[in-house]
């Protein structure tokens, strides 16, 4: 989703890159303090994240923009904008390994489709780079295991784009729950109920000019080019295919469930998952389901998630509320909300700067905290973590645990809407061998993710 910061921005050129006055007029720092970035994946979200990191941090420059699509309109605009700001133009490349091999590059921002996240991250870590990787960070539980090991082995900073982990309201929600003011928590409900439309199959076509289709597919099985899988001008429909992503669940729902985990004190893996659903809204033929109903069993409480793209009467938190410190969303009509039920009170909690409110009977609000959309905090935390050599807010272990909620539910759906028992220690299912076969994806040469 293409998101923009609506406050305190100064437009820099036509690229949509926004830089605060403080960063535009930043003082020269020593060469040792400068951080040089490369962007891998130049879609709308990638450019937004990169511009935010530069805007929110001093003495940060951009050396490379990388994408396998040479025709993206935002790339030349971004190059010109950064040239005007930093005095030299970033270089556009189509092979990310050129940026990884450049010893002058300190860190990379990875905003590719999900099937490239872990392999690109591991390559970058092996090359001595720090990494900011967008959500959902992994395509499988095995990939998460490899990413955790890679961060430990190579000793670099890796920040996952679960930006609610830098949200002030997330920390205060956690503290409020731990204070016991809600009573004993008995149930957590996560919602990711978004609008959508019926998926329609289209025929394969020739590979568009300017696209390296083999490189875009990367680790995934080679197939003919299809406009449903990839768009030359926008985000495209890759989330509709298991080879590239986990559907609506790995998109917005991953954010919602990660925020719920944080608020609940970051529990480990659930002991079981039960998932039902399918293409029940528009009855389309796409691979990833239109709607899912999921139940996770944790120690001490259960958590549910309703996720899909069939509810046009619900909406994400609008921009004017995302960047307000006083206005709360209309919770029942908020598509990406969390409801936390205690024995004394309940809490509404929302991503995108939704904040939280605690209610008693008759809608009486007894406590609340509101703050803004947390992208800027997360982007600053990434650079601060590099400079201070500290663990980032979006650390790899919690990212793996949150991403695994997506994988567990999708696997339960794919093996036939089953209830699956899961061993948190071995990270394997104990009652379904077919499900265990889906813990690891398939990788094709030369895009092989190593076992670390």
CA dist list (Å): 130 to 35, 106, 252, 347, 378: 10, 6, 25, 36, 15
Mean pLDDT value across residues 211-226: 98
To the nearest 10°, the Cα dihedral for 115, 379, 257, 188?
Answer: 180
Looking at the domain assignment, is residue 357 inside a domain? yes
Contacts 24+ apart (CB under 8 A), 118-123: 118/143, 118/144, 118/146, 118/147, 118/449, 119/218, 119/219, 119/443, 119/447, 119/449, 120/40, 120/96, 121/147, 121/150, 121/158, 122/146, 122/147, 122/150, 122/449, 122/450, 122/452, 123/96, 123/97
Domain of 386 in residue numbering reads as: 168-452
Report how far residue 180's alpha carbon sits from residue 86's, in angstroms, rounded to the nearest whole number: 50
**Other CB atoms within 10 A of residue 427 CB:** 17
Where a domain ends, among 164, 181, 196? 164
Q: What is the mean pLDDT of the chain?
A: 93
Mean pLDDT value across residues 13-17: 40
How does pLDDT run across 268-304, given as a tens digit for each residue? 999 999 999 999 999 999 999 999 999 999 999 999 9
Looking at the domain assignment, is residue 6 inside a domain? no
Q: Are residues 137 and 251 in the same domain?
A: no
Return the pLDDT at 375: 97
How does pLDDT run across 110-123, given as a tens digit for each residue? 999 999 999 999 99
Report the share of the chain in percent with pLDDT over 70: 93
CATH code (residue 98):
3.40.50.720
pLDDT band at 20 (very low <50, low <70, confident <90, very high): very low
Return the pLDDT at 37: 98
How does pLDDT run across 82-102, given as a tens digit for each residue? 999 999 999 999 999 999 999
pLDDT band at 13 (very low <50, low <70, confident <90, very high): very low
Query: Is the pLDDT at 211 greater than 80, yes or no?
Result: yes
Looking at the domain assignment, is residue 5 inside a domain? no
Beta-strand pair 60-66/158-160? unpaired
Residue from 108, 157, 101, 153 nearest 127 by CA:
101
Return the pLDDT at 417: 86
Greater confidence (17 vs 90) lies with 90
pLDDT band at 31 (very low <50, low <70, confident <90, very high): low
Greater confidence (317 vs 3) lies with 317
Report the share of the chain in percent with pLDDT over 90: 92
> What is the total count of domains within the chain?
2
Return the pLDDT at 27: 40
Query: Is the pLDDT at 4 greater than 70, yes or no?
Result: no
CA dist list (Å): 258 to 196, 356, 362, 423: 23, 15, 29, 20
Where a domain ends, among 137, 164, 191? 164
Looking at the domain assignment, is residue 202 inside a domain? yes
pTM of this structure: 0.92
Residues forming beta bridges with residue 193, ordered by sequence position: 308
| 3-state secondary structure (DSSP) of residue 239 | helix
Looking at the domain assignment, is residue 3 inside a domain? no
| 3-state secondary structure (DSSP) of residue 302 | strand
CATH code (residue 225):
3.30.360.10
Q: Which of 4-18, 178-192, 252-266 has the lowest mean pLDDT?
A: 4-18
Q: Are residues 117 and 193 in the same domain?
A: no
Looking at the domain assignment, is residue 2 inside a domain? no
Looking at the domain assignment, is residue 4 inside a domain? no
Return the pLDDT at 332: 96
Query: Is the pLDDT at 17 greater than 90, yes or no?
Result: no
Q: Are residues 205 and 343 in the same domain?
A: yes
Return the pLDDT at 297: 98
Query: H helices then E strands: how many in the chain?
Result: 13, 18
pLDDT band at 7 (very low <50, low <70, confident <90, very high): very low
Q: Are residues 109 and 201 in the same domain?
A: no
How far out from the chain centre does Cα 114 lie? 9
Return the pLDDT at 3: 33
Query: Is the pLDDT at 12 greater than 90, yes or no?
Result: no
Report how far residue 423's alpha carbon sits from residue 344's, in angstroms, rounded to the nearest whole number: 32
Q: Are residues 303 and 207 in the same domain?
A: yes
Return the pLDDT at 23: 39
Greater confidence (207 vs 18) lies with 207
């Amino acid at each position: 989703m293409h998101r923009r910061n609506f406050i305190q921005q100064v437009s820099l050129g036509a690229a949509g890159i926004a830089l605060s006055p403080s960063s535009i007029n930043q003082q020269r720092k020593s060469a040792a303090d400068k951080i040089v970035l490369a962007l891998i994946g130049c879609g709308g979200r990638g450019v937004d994240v990169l511009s935010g990191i530069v805007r929110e941090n001093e003495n940060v420059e951009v050396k490379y923009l990388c994408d396998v699509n040479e025709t993206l309109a935002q790339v030349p605009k971004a190059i010109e904008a950064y040239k005007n700001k930093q005095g030299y133009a970033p270089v556009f490349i189509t092979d990310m390994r050129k940026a990884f091999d450049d010893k002058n590059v300190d860190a990379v921002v990875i905003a590719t489709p999900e099937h490239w996240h872990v392999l690109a991250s591991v390559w970058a870590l092996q090359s001595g780079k720090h990494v900011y990787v967008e959500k959902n960070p992994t395509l499988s539980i095995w990939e998460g295991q490899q990413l955790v090991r890679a961060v430990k082995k190579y000793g670099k900073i890796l920040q996952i784009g679960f930006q609610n982990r830098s949200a002030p309201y997330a920390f205060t929600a956690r503290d409020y729950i731990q204070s016991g003011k809600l009573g004993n928590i008995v149930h957590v409900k996560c919602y990711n109920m978004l609008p959508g439309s019926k998926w329609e199959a289209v025929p394969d076509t020739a590979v568009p000019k300017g696209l390296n289709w083999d490189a875009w597919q990367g680790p995934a099985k080679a197939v003919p080019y299809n406009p449903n899988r990839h768009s030359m001008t926008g985000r495209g429909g890759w989330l509709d295919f298991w080879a590239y992503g986990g559907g609506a669940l790995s998109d917005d729902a991953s954010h919602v469930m990660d925020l719920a985990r944080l608020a609940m004190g970051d529990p480990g893996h659930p002991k079981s998952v039960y998932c039902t659903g399918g293409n029940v809204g528009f009855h389309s033929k796409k691979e990833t389901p239109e709607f899912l109903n999921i139940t996770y069993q944790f120690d001490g409480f259960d958590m549910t998630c309703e996720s899909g793209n069939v509810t046009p009467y619900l909406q994400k938190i609008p921009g004017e509320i995302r960047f307000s410190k006083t206005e709360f969303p209309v919770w029942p009509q908020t598509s990406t909300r969390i409801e936390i039920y205690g024995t004394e009170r309940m809490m509404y909690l929302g991503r995108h700067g939704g904040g939280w409110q605690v209610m008693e009977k008759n809608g009486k609000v007894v406590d609340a905290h509101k703050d803004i959309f947390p992208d800027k905090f997360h982007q600053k935390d990434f650079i601060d973590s590099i400079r201070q050599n500290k663990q980032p807010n979006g650390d790899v272990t919690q990212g793996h645990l949150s991403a695994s909620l997506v994988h567990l539910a999708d696997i339960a759906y794919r093996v036939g809407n089953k209830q699956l028992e899961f061993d948190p220690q071995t990270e394997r299912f104990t009652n379904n061998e077919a499900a265990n076969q889906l813990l690891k994806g398939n990788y094709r040469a030369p895009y092989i993710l190593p076992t670390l």
